Amino acid sequence: MRFEVTVGKPAAGGGFVGRSPDGRVVFVRHAAPGERVLAEVTEENKSFLRADAVEILEPSEQRVEPRCVVAGPGGCGGCDYQHLSLDLQRELKAALIEEHLSRIAKIEHKVVVEPASADDDGYNWRTRVRFGIDELGLPSFHPHRTSELLAVADCPVAVDEIRSTGVMANRFDGVETLEVFGHPNGTTPVVNLTTTPRGFTHTPEIDGAGIVVDGSILQAPGRVKVTVGARSFDVGVDSFFQSHRSAAELLTRAVLQAAKLSKGDHVADLYCGVGLFSAAIGARVGSEGKVIAIEKNAAATADARRNCKDLAQVTILTESVNAKTIASLLPGTDVVVVDPARDGVGKPAMVALCNLAPRPTRLVYVSCDPATFARDVATAMEEGWKLTSLRAFDLFPNTEHVELVGVIEPQTR
């Protein structure tokens, strides 16, 4: 089904809101606010439609030419906004954050999305790229909301360290997924392969990279060492690390600024990953301070112990973050830092954090999902806290995604 439509505000999922001829809401990808487009329906539900803009009838002045040849309708589902100027992308992300805060947390908060760096042009930023492998053994991405595979010859948002390995020019027979981790401030990139039941048949030629197959190092190294400020972080292929090349340093500065730490403070770093914030916090509070860092991923906590081994004041625990661990491990904490996955902290854990006795002076919340962030802020407000500051960073250019650093404090302070 095709029809003409004028689209308006952005919606979660990378599309823009319009109305179909029968009155249903339609979420149109590859469009821009104010554009009149020819929309082709890709998914139909009783109350709404999803569609792609397959022809632009009245283009926006902020429309640009994507660098990626598969960034349009029917192509890769990764870059929602590659056809839009970076200025407009950031305005749209700010609008989505404000809408989530207003609708979910019932607060009005003006947001400005900051670039990751002054020279960030939206490309050459992603330090970790995951591919599916198609039936021909070719590295592929998924079109939007499908399990199909689309072979790709290049990915302009990936850092040069990944693109120069040549993985996208190789065939990987017997491989199910392929992930490449490389960083401009790091050592040799690592290619991490997961094989199919029929097995991995040969070692492809990959320039200047280590190769890990089903957890075993086939070609050294099996880890990436990344320099952030004055410290080096040892990161394994099974551990999360910020994907934007500037993110680790930028977020560390933002978290330290938000936390307002002093020597001797007791701090909790929840969802600590490989210890990125733990190390910086430990150095800031000094030997008289204390940092309890909690992460459920055992591979990540093993990395965190390596990365914080010179900081005796930092204790790394392999635990889930939940109401029980918060109540038992965190009383007496001055400041809490949380950096959860996309599903957020959740109500039970947020309630437990807000009711620690004595109350922490502040909660620094790092989030990659405005909706779950707003939900958790709403929970904190119910417990007598308030959102006192919020910064947003464009750490996922050419997509709808954004990173937040918020400060939540008790209202009685």
Q: What does the pLDDT look like over 71-108, one tens digit per residue? A: 999 999 999 999 999 999 999 999 999 999 999 999 99
Assess whether 255 and 402 both reside in one domain. Answer: yes
Assess whether 253 and 209 both reside in one domain. Answer: no
- Percent of the chain residues topping a pLDDT of 90: 96
- Percent of the chain residues topping a pLDDT of 70: 100
Q: Does the pLDDT at position 115 exceed 70?
A: yes
Assess whether 396 and 271 both reside in one domain. Answer: yes
Q: Does the pLDDT at position 413 exceed 70?
A: no
Assess whether 248 and 222 both reside in one domain. Answer: no
Assess whether 261 and 353 both reside in one domain. Answer: yes
Tell me the per-residue pLDDT of 156-170, one tens digit each, with 9 for 90 and over. Answer: 999 999 999 999 999
Assess whether 396 and 275 both reside in one domain. Answer: yes
User: Does residue 143 lie in a domain region?
Assistant: yes
> Which amino acid is it at 5?
V
Assess whether 283 and 380 both reside in one domain. Answer: yes
User: Does residue 86 lie in a domain region?
Assistant: no
Assess whether 201 and 249 both reside in one domain. Answer: no
17, 36, 63: which is the final residue of a domain?
63
pLDDT at 205: 81
Tell me the per-residue pLDDT of 345-386, one tens digit each, with 9 for 90 and over. Answer: 999 999 999 999 999 999 999 999 999 999 999 999 999 999
- Rounded mean pLDDT, 394-399: 98
Q: CA neighbours within 13 Å on the CB side: how many for 137?
A: 15
User: Does residue 342 lie in a domain region?
Assistant: yes
Q: Does the pLDDT at position 6 exceed 70?
A: yes
Q: Does the pLDDT at position 36 exceed 60?
A: yes
User: Does residue 292 lie in a domain region?
Assistant: yes
Count: domains in the chain: 3
Find the CATH number of the domain harbouring 53.
2.40.50.140
Assess whether 213 and 333 both reside in one domain. Answer: no
Give the active site residue among 68, 308, 354, 368.
368
Tell me the per-residue pLDDT of 284-336, one tens digit each, with 9 for 90 and over. Answer: 999 999 999 999 999 999 999 999 999 999 999 999 999 999 999 999 999 99
Split at pLDDT 50, 70, 90, the class of 199 is: confident
In terms of residue numbers, what domain contains 59? 2-63
Assess whether 253 and 400 both reside in one domain. Answer: yes
Q: Does the pLDDT at position 186 exceed 80?
A: yes
Assess whether 278 and 376 both reside in one domain. Answer: yes
pLDDT at 108: 97
Assess whether 294 and 382 both reside in one domain. Answer: yes
- For residues 327 and 259, the answer to whether their CB atoms sit within 8 Å is no
User: Does residue 182 lie in a domain region?
Assistant: yes
63, 82, 101: which is the final residue of a domain?
63
> Is 368 annotated in the active site?
yes
Mean pLDDT of the chain: 96
User: Does residue 322 lie in a domain region?
Assistant: yes
User: Does residue 206 lie in a domain region?
Assistant: yes
Q: Does the pLDDT at position 204 exceed 90?
A: no
Q: Assign 3-class secondary structure to the chain.
A: CEEEEECCCECCCCCEEEECCCCCEEEEECCCCCCEEEEEEEEECCCEEEEEEEEEEECCCCECCCCCCCCCCCCECCCCCCCECHHHHHHHHHHHHHHHHHHHHCCCCCCCEEECCCCCCCCCCECEEEEEECCCCCEEECECCCCCCEECCCCCCECHHHHCCCHHHCCCCCEEEEEEECCCCECCCEEEEEECCCCCCCCCCCCCCEEEECCEEEECCCEEEEEECCEEEEEECCCCCCCECCHHHHHHHHHHHHHCCCCCCEEEEECCCCCHHHHHHHHHHCCCCEEEEEECCHHHHHHHHHHCCCCCCEEEEECCCCHHHHHHHCCCCCEEEECCCCCCCCHHHHHHHHCCCCCCCEEEEEECCHHHHHHHHHHHHHCCEEEEEEEEEECCCCCCCCEEEEEEEECCC
63, 83, 100: which is the final residue of a domain?
63
Split at pLDDT 50, 70, 90, the class of 203 is: confident
Residues 6+ away with beta carbon under 8 Å from 343: 369, 372
Q: Does the pLDDT at position 64 exceed 90?
A: yes
Tell me the per-residue pLDDT of 245-267, one tens digit each, with 9 for 90 and over. Answer: 999 999 999 999 999 999 999 99
Q: Does the pLDDT at position 412 exceed 80?
A: no
User: Does residue 84 lie in a domain region?
Assistant: no
Find the CATH number of the domain harbouring 346.
3.40.50.150
